[in-house]
Structure 1
Amino acid sequence: MNRICIFAISIACCLIFCTSSSAEIYRYVDKNGVWHFSNIKSNKHYEVFLTEKSRAYLVTGNMWTNKYDDIIHHVSRLFQVESGLIKAIIKAESNFDHRALSKKGAQGLMQLMPETAYDMNVKDPYDPKQNIFGGTRYISMLLKRFNYNKTLALAAYNAGPEEVESRNSIPPFPETQTFIKRVLDYYSAYNGASF
């Protein structure tokens, strides 16, 4: 059984068996590389892995799909964006549905608006390769624009860079704030899994 399957099973067990009296799940990796999970911080080596609010996000379908991993790893190297961040954006934006279409008109895996898709040279936003290429190119540009501050770059990805620049902070839009939280929760989980 590969590491991702073991990781997914471990997380599922923690999510099922940890009661609501504990708001967090803790983890640590011992000297042999074995992962330990608990709902109690039983020693100083444990660190917060999941909060109660993030649990709901992580058990909703397709969390551990590897369907687009080859494309993600390729564009990750090409644009110097962490693969875990790319995958987290895809999970938050479309739940890995390459045919996703939002009410506002955002399209595909990384939910590119038509103007953004055009600017990123994406001809077919429903084509997974083109969409991931364009979305990763866009988040790469935003990371540079906001001095590699992930939170501000994600806010700009969701609300538009002008909204972030005009305030020099995260816009007070609930949708944007929820988006950032979800992406960062997924990002943390994907980085821990080393997919």
Structure 2
Amino acid sequence: MLGDAEAKYRLGQVFAFAEDIRNDPELAAAWFYDAAQSDHAKAREVLEVLRIVARPKRRPSCADGQGKRVSPGLAGGARAHRPARAPAEIVRLVHGLAPHYGLDPALVLALIEAESSFDPDARSHKNAQGLMQLIPATATRFGVRDVWDPEQNLRGGMAYLRWLLNRFNGDLELALAGYNAGEAAVERHGGVPPYKETRAYVARIFRRLKGRY
């Protein structure tokens, strides 16, 4: 499951590297340091690369250098994203199914919100369907017979997300990028593809994870 240390590390990545917010290296360092204090291995590696050995003067927060609150994944001056309200039945299904796939329910709910805003009848212009926006090939690949059935759709989407996490050695950022752009695109670019949509998608989900469901 996605722990607090991982969330802190990802916030550090957002403030350090995201393209659609004002980067804040000092705030990123504060988040990386906090994650390292929770024994996050990748955060410790980042601190070594940055040669940060003492606690940064900044405290980890979602406020910029002027004390104004900012949302990771939003450009300066952009309107804040208002999350859709998750229907109780969807929340119940997610909390019941997610543990079977070794997934954090909060992660799955954040992904569903980004994909379909919890609409089981959603269909994209690319023919992605249902709550977790499965294209027909992915639905078939993971044994989904009725993509419009919420439980089957959730099972297929969670199975795909778990597969992506296994493929990318537990790297959530790459797994989410793969869910949005396809695993082939992640592999071709050697990381998160340089697509504005995909990078905004990953940042949006991390933003929702910070608030939790």
Using the size of structure 2 for normalisation, the TM-score is 0.64
Shift in Å, 1:178: 1.3
Cα separation, partners in 2 of 1:149 and 1:55, compared to 1, 3 Å: farther
Is residue 126 from structure 1 mapped to residue 148 from structure 2 by the alignment? yes
Equivalent residue in structure 2 for 1:101, among 99, 123, 132: 123
- Please say if 1:48 is aligned against 2:62: yes
Given the alignment of the two structures, is residue 61 of structure 1 paired with residue 84 of structure 2, yes or no? yes
Q: 1:45 to 1:169 in 2, by over 3 A?
A: closer
**TM-fit CA distance, 1:112:** 0.5
Deviation string for 1:91-118 (max 9, x for gaps)?
0000000000000010000101110001
Q: Higher mean Cα deviation, 82-91 or 69-78?
A: 69-78
Q: How many aligned residue pairs are there?
A: 149
Q: In 1, Cα distance between the equivalents of 2:60 and 2:197?
A: 32
Alpha-carbon distance in structure 2 between the residues aligned to 1:70 and 1:166: 37
Identity value in percent: 36
Change (3 A) 1:51 1:146: same
Shift of 1:55: 6.7
Instruction: For residue 51 of structure 1, report the CA deviation from its aligned partner.
Output: 2.5
Q: Report if aligned partners of 2:142, 2:159 keep a CA contact under 8 Å in 1.
A: yes
| Aligned counterparts of 1:102 and 1:51: Cα–Cα separation in 2 | 30
Q: Does 1:157 align with 2:173?
A: no
Which has the larger share of strand?
1
Q: Are the equivalent residues in 1 in contact too, given 2:134–2:153 (CA < 8 A)?
A: yes
**Whole-Å separation in 2 of the counterparts to 1:120 and 1:61:** 27
The one-letter amino acid paired with 1:47 is S
Q: Secondary structure at the match of 1:110?
A: coil
On the 8 A contact 2:139/2:145 being kept in 1, the answer is yes
Deviations along 1:48-105, one digit per CA (max 9) or x if unpaired, are 3873439722x2432x543311211122110001111100000000000000000001
TM-score normalised to the size of structure 1? 0.69
Could you say if the C-alpha distance between residues 46 and 150 of structure 1 is closer, same or farther in structure 2, counting changes exceeding 3 Å?
A: closer
Question: Distance in 2 between the 1:148 and 1:60 partners?
Answer: 26
Structure 1's unaligned 5+ residue stretches are 1-43
TM-fit CA distance, 1:159: 0.6
Structure 1 segment 1-195 matched on structure 2, within 5 A: 47-48=61-62, 51-52=70-71, 53=74, 56-57=80-81, 59-62=82-85, 64-190=86-212, 195=213
Structure 2: state its 5+ residue gaps: 1-57, 64-68
Question: Measured at CA, do residues 46 and 175 of structure 1 come closer, stay the same or move farther in structure 2, by a change above 3 Å?
Answer: closer
C-alpha deviation, 1:147, in angstroms: 0.8
Q: Give the C-alpha shift of residue 180 in structure 1.
A: 0.8
